[in-house]
Structure 1
Amino acid sequence: MKKEEIKLTDIQRILFGETPAAFMLEVFIRTIIIYLALLLVLKLLGKRMTGQLTIAEMAVMITMGAIVAVPMQIPDRGIVQGIIILLLAVAFLRGLNYLSYNRQASQ
């Protein structure tokens, strides 16, 4: 097995890596689709997401970042799974908010 020599002057490798140009275009398209889905999810979460966040909302926001990273970067993963997981995260947070609201209303 031939060991590849790393050179600091290899700007092509540093900037683009060993990724084919076609996949870079695919990543761009994936990013646009995931970005639009993320905008929709943030809209579903409501206007409070721009204001003061609860701990649960902060955890969901951080989780969303992790959810959208994989479908954008890994060619073996489709973006539909990422979008479904985003929607499940929204449903989870909405469920928590609903339970919290009902608990407060009953007291």
Structure 2
Amino acid sequence: MNKDGLELWNWRRIIIGEVPVEFMLETLFRTIIVYLFLIFILRMLGKRMNAQLTLTEMAVMITLGAIVSPAMQLPDRGILPAIVILSCILFLQRGLGQLSFK
């Protein structure tokens, strides 16, 4: 253990982090709300804003960066919340793609 109280091989802290399960659910809801709001804003900005990318692709790229950064930068955050939310964004993106295809 170093002076910050971090243990290098504390797998529970690395995977789950030091946050309650409720916070993981809150993070999921926050991500969905921000994702939908971002789609709305990008649609309002128009096609010139995003060149070759579709609105949802651009929103996913921005959201993915915001999702993974805390898991990599903050020691009290585990990677599991980021993995769960990344999976949800993947399914949301695929679902929107299927809906737009039909």
- TM-score where L is the length of structure 2: 0.50
| Bigger Cα Rg | 1
The higher-RCO structure (CA 8 Å, 6+ apart) is: 2
